[in-house]
Amino acid sequence: MDYPCKAKNTIQICIGQIFYFEICLFWLETVSLARGILSLIVIIREHKLSTMLHPSLQSRLENQHLALIDKLENVPASILKTRIVPGKWTVQENLAHLVSYQPVFLERMQLILTQPDPAILPYQADTDPLFAGLIDLPLEEVILEMKKGREQVLNLIGSLSPAEFARKGAHPVYGNLSILGWTEFFILHESHHMFTMYRLLAQPLS
């Protein structure tokens, strides 16, 4: 029997297995490191938010839209798009307005961050192509856009320093607000439309 050849083959197999396990271990360590970095980023963002914002404002910024999503997910599309009150927005139009306002908010904040005391122009939803496009989309797609936009808002707000939070932009109706003030307005504006949608859904259909 050719024992040297068998021993050589066995050694080669063992070396191959060791090399394979080392690659697997390296991959697992890399994945664990990546997950650790992502977790650290989330912790840092949440810590910055918690130190910059009042806890109730932080909670609403992170979760308020989720309560609305839970409310709307089981509502038939026919009801969402029914004009329950003549001359007023439907539930879907109110939702589309909230979703299309998120990039407007981000643009305003970038303007305040890059220019000294800029003028903030009024937003007209009825002339916004994004608003018009969201009205006829399925609810699932509108919700997805809402979640994407909110994540961008959270990322921006979570990256700001105290000095940046204090920067201001003047609106002809709402006055000269700091970024912190605009963040509070963002939440109040959203809650106003949420209440409007809840009232519409509570009304009997004719």
Where do the domains of the chain lie? 1-52, 54-202
| pTM (two decimals) | 0.75
Write down the architecture of domain 54-202 according to CATH.
Up-down Bundle (1.20)
Distances (CA, A) of 99 to 77, 80, 151, 167, 171: 17, 15, 12, 25, 21
Taking only the tens place, the pLDDT of each residue in 17-47 is 666 656 656 666 665 555 656 554 444 444 4
pLDDT for residue 142 is more than 70: yes
Taking only the tens place, the pLDDT of each residue in 90-133 is 999 999 999 999 999 999 999 999 999 999 999 999 899 999 99
User: From CA 61, how far away is CA 156, in angstroms rounded?
Assistant: 12
